[in-house]
Structure 1
Amino acid sequence: MLSSTFLSLSLFFLTSIATPAKRYDLDGNGVPDLCTTNSDGTASCLLSDGSLTTFKTSTTIPAPRATVTLPDPATFKKDNGTKWSIKYVGNLAFTGTLQAKGLGGDKCRSSKLGNKVIWSCGDMECKGGFTSSGCGFSMGPAFYGTSSVLTVNTTGISLVQSNDFAVPFSGDPKPVAPQSAFGMDTSNVAAINATHGVAYAFEIWRGASDGSFVNRGNAVVSVTLGNERPIATRVGPLLTGPNTIQLGLLAILRDGDFVYTYSIGGPSGIIVGRVAASDQVFSASAYSFLVAGSTSTWKTPGSIPAASSTTFGMTTTNSGGKFSCGAYGSVFFNTYLGKYVIICTAFENFTNMYVSATPFGPWSAEYGLLNGWGIGYGSMAHPEFSTDGGKTFHFSQGPDGPFNMFEVSFNF
């Protein structure tokens, strides 16, 4: 029997699922609105100010259009400095006490829910750690953004763990020696509607003196907008056991009527799954995955694939048919290019970009954006802050200290 918690949350998540939604730009800002088609011939779109509007799909509505055609990767490399550019624009800053104490960590992802930007981060602490000059430690806090891509709102927070986001469920088994603590590696947030979103986390036990850890499995959380901070609520036990892919940890994306999950694995290096943007996100059997070598064949296996699975995977024209992506990245739609974009890091030194006409490929060969800067741990794009329809976007990277922010500008 479903718990009362699950039932109450499912009412918020319930969404009319029909055909994939056409892209609309109702507020004319050059950024596609988040829209869902309804069974009655209407569509509902979430605008940039957080309001929701519904209209008949037969109505003539402006849709975002590609502005340019991206050249091939070799030409793109030659065009650096003329038709496109990248520059370091500073470090991600935090307001109040946490900035003064030097807050930093592994990664910080950004997402949009309603009219709020959510920053969800990983393994965050200040220079002083747990001493009086520090600010404690959080395996995964979340904060609200400001109007600037370079500033996160942490005013009034003295201990970073006060903003813990995805945390272990009360029924999760406690760590067994030599492990002493939980770890929760968290995805970005995908909107379900104007007030609720979803995020994924992979739970581990850690803390052993030898640096070892124990995988526990995938979790799904419902995300809501609290007065002071984003709230993540676990709904029941872990979605999977320890031997599956780490669901959505590369990135997740709400597109049309689906939440797409991007996970490291498969013959090409990335497995893409999708599930209806509704309370089905809490059911492992509801997820479908793109069959390896295919560009449109989906299979619903009834469970989340094993980490060793070779059955599923996206395609890329990259050398050897493999993506050069580590554990983390971002996937988003760029209006200027008229393409879906993957940003990710290889070998903690090379930030690459891939583009596709659909959220599941086939994907291009890699476009090199950045190398030689130093160690980069998961390049996280922040398209929520693009004000020119995607002609310019930002991404940040850590780890273990300040987050460096870069600006990519296209002029094709």
Structure 2
Amino acid sequence: MHSHSLILILFSLSFLTALATSDKRYDLDGNGTPDLCTTNSGGTASCLLSNGSWTTFETSAYHSGMLAISTKATAAATSSAKHASPQATGILPDPATFKRDNGTKWSIKYVGNLAFTDTLQAKRLEGDKCRSGKLGNKVIWNCGDMECKGGWTVCGFSMGPAFYGTSSVMTVNTTGISLVQANDFIKPWSGDPKPVSPQTAFGMDTSNVAVINSTHGVAYAWEIWRGASDGSFGNRGNAVVSVTLGAQKPIATRRGPLLTGPHALALGMLAILRDGDFIYTYSIGGPSGIIIGRVKASDAVFSASEYAFLKAGSESTWVTPGTIPNATTTAYGMTTSNSGGKFSCNVYGSVFFNAYLNRYVIICTAFEHFTNMYISSTPWGPWSAEYGLLNGWGVGYGSMAHPEYSTDGGKTFHFSQGPDSVFNVFKVSFDF
């Protein structure tokens, strides 16, 4: 054996031994065997996962098995809460009658702008879009590009921060945060290729967070390269993260490489939803304008081969293609009674169950001026024709519902929308 090979082996053994003896107290996957970890500055640690990748997390948020997603939060738990309807269940009329009933049987009201707390509110934090979801007892707000009024020099810049909510739908908790990038949420994986000229930076377009169990959630991101002087960007593909609750902020952990390449459908960019045993992904595409996929609410979310998609034109036929379809596919899609069989959803939105209506609801925006609603008795449809909620307000983008704050079984709910400035908040009230 050559001497330099022996030195390398001895160095490797000593390095691993040092890791094993000094920091071998974390068991992230919950398999009973401590992981090889090293403690960093700033209250974080990095551990080597079984797939050969490293992950970094806040040590204050550690618990055994924090990256092992299980299905212990059963369908019964989600279904019992979902169907706890108030005694008077509303039944919507047809869309034309609904339009005439505005102001009598239902109403929509602008109730102010989304506020933040402490320094970031004083410096007027604003940005792209802010979604909400709930994990355990925490409401998670995760947003798009964010900076303070006046530009990135005021309070920094984040391509997608996440925060905890407060008791009010009108206020997000940013206390103690001076630079918004301190709360970056979904980040590039250590093995992701770095941007190539003329691109200079990563971008992450993120879904809302959906619950897996009381301690774990899941979220999706569409990763891009950007920063070129001509405004161009390069698609990279889908990322999936495990979401846990840190002491001060939500933590998103990549489990490895991108789920897909750059030509795949951008999973969950309209919205994602946990219902029963499944995570449902709603993505822009297909003959009707929205493609729905589903995957078991478990570690299956990290495997592209586990996803099934609703066949185009079908109300119940699910196909498991073994991979995530291309963005140009015409093989999959939900159905709607809308004119021409197409949804009027051009950009982001929300999907949630409304107990008062006893229906699943889609809210989305068309052409940045029209906020529409669709209803269905199942998460996959068939969906109604569109109900117009808001138009003539001006530019509206990324209509994000916040049903976590509904206290009357869904007779009222709020949604917010941007873009690139303050977030206007609207209250929808039903009395059918």
Distance in 1 (CA, whole Å) between partners of 2:118 and 2:283 is 35
1:86-105 to structure 2, matched below 5 A, reads 86-105=108-127
In structure 2, relative to structure 1, the CA distance for the partners of 1:242 and 1:121 (3 Å cut) is: same
Give secondary structure in 1 for the equivalent of 2:98: helix
Give secondary structure in 2 for the equivalent of 1:23: helix
Contact 1:290 1:298 (8 Å CA) reproduced:
yes
Q: String of CA shifts for 1:265-312, please: whole Å, max 9, x gaps.
A: 000000000000000000000000000000000000000010000000
Partner of 1:204: 224
Greater than 2 Å deviation, 4+ residue runs:
1-6, 8-12, 16-23, 62-66, 128-131
Distance in 2 (CA, whole Å) between partners of 1:230 and 1:310 is 36
Distance in 2 (CA, whole Å) between partners of 1:64 and 1:403 is 30
In structure 2, relative to structure 1, the CA distance for the partners of 1:224 and 1:22 (3 Å cut) is: closer
Residue in structure 2 matching 1:174, options 190, 194, 214 = 194
CA-CA distance at 1:129 after TM superposition = 2.2
Residue in structure 2 matching 1:2, options 9, 30, 51 = 51
Partner of 1:186: 206
Give secondary structure in 2 for the equivalent of 1:221: strand
Partner of 2:356: 336
Residue in structure 2 matching 1:235, options 255, 260, 270 = 255
Partner of 1:278: 298
In structure 2, relative to structure 1, the CA distance for the partners of 1:264 and 1:9 (3 Å cut) is: farther
Contact 1:10 1:279 (8 Å CA) reproduced:
no
Contact 2:108 2:428 (8 Å CA) reproduced:
yes
Bigger CA radius of gyration: 2
In structure 2, relative to structure 1, the CA distance for the partners of 1:224 and 1:395 (3 Å cut) is: same
Q: String of CA shifts for 1:352-409, please: whole Å, max 9, x gaps.
A: 0000000000000000000010111110000000000000000000011100000000
Distance in 2 (CA, whole Å) between partners of 1:247 and 1:22 is 22
CA-CA distance at 1:149 after TM superposition = 0.3
Pairwise CA RMSD: 1.9
Distance in 1 (CA, whole Å) between partners of 2:381 and 2:303 is 25
Distance in 2 (CA, whole Å) between partners of 1:66 and 1:325 is 30
Partner of 2:100: 78
Distance in 1 (CA, whole Å) between partners of 2:215 and 2:347 is 29
Does structure 1 residue 136 correspond to structure 2 residue 192? no
Distance in 1 (CA, whole Å) between partners of 2:74 and 2:370 is 40
Distance in 1 (CA, whole Å) between partners of 2:85 and 2:370 is 34
Give 1:2's aligned amino acid. N
Distance in 1 (CA, whole Å) between partners of 2:329 and 2:88 is 36
Distance in 1 (CA, whole Å) between partners of 2:198 and 2:53 is 35
Partner of 1:57: none
In structure 2, relative to structure 1, the CA distance for the partners of 1:155 and 1:140 (3 Å cut) is: same
Contact 1:124 1:139 (8 Å CA) reproduced:
yes
Give secondary structure in 2 for the equivalent of 1:104: strand
CA-CA distance at 1:12 after TM superposition = 2.9
Contact 2:401 2:416 (8 Å CA) reproduced:
yes
Distance in 1 (CA, whole Å) between partners of 2:357 and 2:261 is 39
Contact 1:66 1:338 (8 Å CA) reproduced:
no
Q: String of CA shifts for 1:68-106, please: whole Å, max 9, x gaps.
A: 211000000000000000000000000000001110001
Give secondary structure in 2 for the equivalent of 1:13: coil
Distance in 2 (CA, whole Å) between partners of 1:302 and 1:280 is 12
Give secondary structure in 2 for the equivalent of 1:352: strand
Partner of 2:380: 360
Distance in 1 (CA, whole Å) between partners of 2:158 and 2:339 is 39
Does structure 1 residue 116 correspond to structure 2 residue 138? yes
Give 1:355's aligned amino acid. I
Contact 2:67 2:242 (8 Å CA) reproduced:
no
In structure 2, relative to structure 1, the CA distance for the partners of 1:22 and 1:159 (3 Å cut) is: closer
Give 1:336's aligned amino acid. Y
Does structure 1 residue 316 correspond to structure 2 residue 344? no
Contact 1:23 1:63 (8 Å CA) reproduced:
no
Give 1:200's aligned amino acid. Y
Contact 2:86 2:408 (8 Å CA) reproduced:
no
In structure 2, relative to structure 1, the CA distance for the partners of 1:130 and 1:11 (3 Å cut) is: closer
CA-CA distance at 1:66 after TM superposition = 6.9
Residue in structure 2 matching 1:383, options 384, 403, 408 = 403
In structure 2, relative to structure 1, the CA distance for the partners of 1:64 and 1:276 (3 Å cut) is: farther
Percent identity reads: 77
CA-CA distance at 1:9 after TM superposition = 6.0
Give 1:246's aligned amino acid. A
Give 1:183's aligned amino acid. G
Return the TM-score normalized by structure 1.
0.88
Distance in 2 (CA, whole Å) between partners of 1:194 and 1:264 is 29
Higher helix share: 2
Which ranges of structure 2 fall in alignment gaps of 5 or more residues? 1-49, 56-63
CA-CA distance at 1:14 after TM superposition = 2.1
In structure 2, relative to structure 1, the CA distance for the partners of 1:334 and 1:19 (3 Å cut) is: closer
